[in-house]
Amino acid sequence: MKVGIYANIKKDKNLDITKKIIELFRSESMNFVVYKDVAENFNNVKSFDFTDKMRPDVMVTIGGDGTILGIAEYCANNRIPILGVNLGKLGFLTEIEISNLSEIANVLKNGNYNVEKRTMLSAEVNGKKVSALNEIVVKRENDGRMVSLDVFVNGGFLDNYYCDGYIVATPTGSTAYSLSAGGSIISPIANVFALTPISSHSLHSRPVVISDTEKIVLSLKGDGNAAAVVADGKICETIGCAQEIHIKKSNTQALFVRIKENNFYLKLLSKLNTWSVTGGRE
């Protein structure tokens, strides 16, 4: 087994945790590679890049949920399970806390883990295809005027929203931006998507939960006001009046290494209690 190491330098500022994991893998004679931007900080380590043909069999990420989102598409496209080490405050997606680093080598060497599958989104806009693990968002491009959006589900008109933005979230993303905007918390094994308006200028606008087999179209209305299309926090495209974003369930899934029974509701309670104190800051 070849293990990839992908670290967020902003979280692991001195790469102390990354160094400990590298030393742990060396002591266990494990085959590992380090993402090129991080590998430059170490001597005698093999590196990998997203363009390499030879890919890791499993990916250890060091950071928080944002770190996982940054590599989720690459791992999903190549069917690489992710084992997240949490250096953030929340870590809904991560599996290992710093205090349990010593578990990693034993778990991976002996295969003492399960692989959990998570639904992803696929969107097409301006001929460009993007994917997301958490959400696709259409939001006003600047701090000026709100956006006007017509939303369609399976070809049927759902509603018009005059709002700061609109979120299409997976169950995984239901505890992220969608939750902050008033959306429902959804079990990760539910086969649904959450549609959540952001600060809608209407008393009747409410979040809507639909089947993940349904297709969503967001059509920008108005008089030329532009909007940004954001996938997992990254702006991927800008659209203008009458342009559409087509969103559906992706053919690929994100895979996660789980080393213990994953009780979503206990984890949810713990993380939300933390969030209430820190405001979700990582």
For 43, other C-beta atoms within 10 Å of its C-beta total 5
For 42, other C-beta atoms within 10 Å of its C-beta total 14
pLDDT at 272 over 90: no
Compute the distance between CA of residue 91 and CA of residue 20 in angstroms, rounded to an integer.
Answer: 20
Percent of the chain with pLDDT over 70: 95
* Nearest by Cα to 149 from 200, 212, 193: 200
Q: Which residues contact 153 (CB under 8 A, 6 or more apart)?
A: 195, 210, 214, 215, 216
What are the domain boundaries of the chain?
A: 2-113+259-278, 122-251
Phi-psi region of 111 (alpha: psi -120 to 50; beta: other; left: phi over 0): left
Let me know: does 32 contact 46? Beta carbons within 8 Å: yes
What one-letter code names the amino acid at 6? Y
Q: What are 198-207's pLDDT values in tens digits?
A: 999 888 889 9
Structure tokens at 36: 């090129």
Tell me, what's the pLDDT at 67?
95
Q: Is the pTM of this model over 0.95?
A: no
pLDDT at 262 over 80: no
DSSP calls for 205-238 = ---EEEETTS-EEEEE-SSS--EEEEETTEEEEE
pLDDT at 52 over 80: yes
223 is catalytic: no
Mean pLDDT for the chain overall: 92
Q: Which residues contact 52 (CB under 8 A, 6 or more apart)?
A: none
Average pLDDT over residues 94-104: 91
Q: Please, which pLDDT band fits residue 266 given cuts at 50, 70 and 90? A: confident
Domain 122-251 has CATH 2.60.200.30: yes
Average pLDDT over residues 78-93: 90
Structure tokens at 126: 């301006």
Tell me, what's the pLDDT at 259?
87
Compute the distance between CA of residue 82 and CA of residue 94 in angstroms, rounded to an integer.
Answer: 9
Which position among 12, 37, 49, 65 bears the catalytic label? Answer: 65
pLDDT at 90 over 90: no
CATH architecture of 2-113+259-278: 3-Layer(aba) Sandwich (3.40)
Structure tokens at 5: 């190491």
Output b/e per residue, 74-100; b: 16+ Cβ within 10 A.
ebbeeebbbbbbbbbbbbbbbbbeeee
Q: What are 195-254's pLDDT values in tens digits?
A: 999 999 888 889 999 999 999 999 999 766 789 999 999 999 999 888 999 999 999 999
Tell me, what's the pLDDT at 279?
56
